């Protein structure tokens, strides 16, 4: 029973961090990304923007990974699982999601706000 409760917790928290909850970025992912960028900028001052983007991506990856691990806990329980495979699947799906968004911006299906696009 504790495994299922842990799984529900991971699914809930992972959902808040994942790209599936775009409406929650303001409360979770963007502050985490900003904090990550700020911490990296202490060491490398010129990398604030890049580290913020990287922190945002990492928080989304963490959300997907947490959802996957929580779902595994809920549905498979105590059965053995391959954590390396879970991580590779999560990184792959997050990378595909990122590439799709980049492609949509590149082909002008999505537009960036003026603040981001330097116009």
pLDDT given for residue 71 in this prediction? 86
pLDDT, one tens digit for every residue, the chain (119 residues): 888 898 999 999 999 988 787 777 888 888 999 999 999 999 998 999 889 889 988 888 888 888 888 888 888 777 777 778 877 877 787 788 778 878 888 898 877 666 555 54
Please say whether the beta carbons of 36 and 51 come within 8 A. yes
Alpha-carbon distance 83 to 38, whole Å?
31
User: Which pTM does this prediction carry?
Assistant: 0.69
Give me the residue spans of the domains in the chain: 2-117
5 token code pair: 């409760």
Q: At what angle do helices 48-76 and 2-17 cross, to 10 degrees?
A: 150
pLDDT given for residue 115 in this prediction? 53
The region, left, alpha or beta by phi > 0 then psi within -120 to 50, assigned to residue 108 is left
DSSP symbol at 22: G
């Amino acid at each position: 029973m504790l495994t299922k409760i842990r799984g529900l917790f991971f699914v809930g928290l992972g959902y808040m961090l994942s790209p599936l909850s775009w409406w929650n970025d303001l409360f979770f992912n963007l502050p985490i990304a900003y904090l990550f960028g700020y911490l990296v900028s202490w060491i490398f001052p010129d990398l604030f923007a890049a580290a913020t983007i990287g922190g945002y991506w990492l928080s989304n990856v963490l959300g997907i990974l947490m959802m996957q691990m929580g779902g595994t806990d809920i549905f498979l329980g105590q059965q053995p699982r391959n954590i390396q495979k879970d991580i590779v699947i999560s990184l792959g799906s997050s990378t595909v999601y990122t590439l799709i968004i980049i492609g949509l911006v590149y082909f002008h299906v999505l537009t960036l706000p003026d603040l981001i696009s330097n116009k």
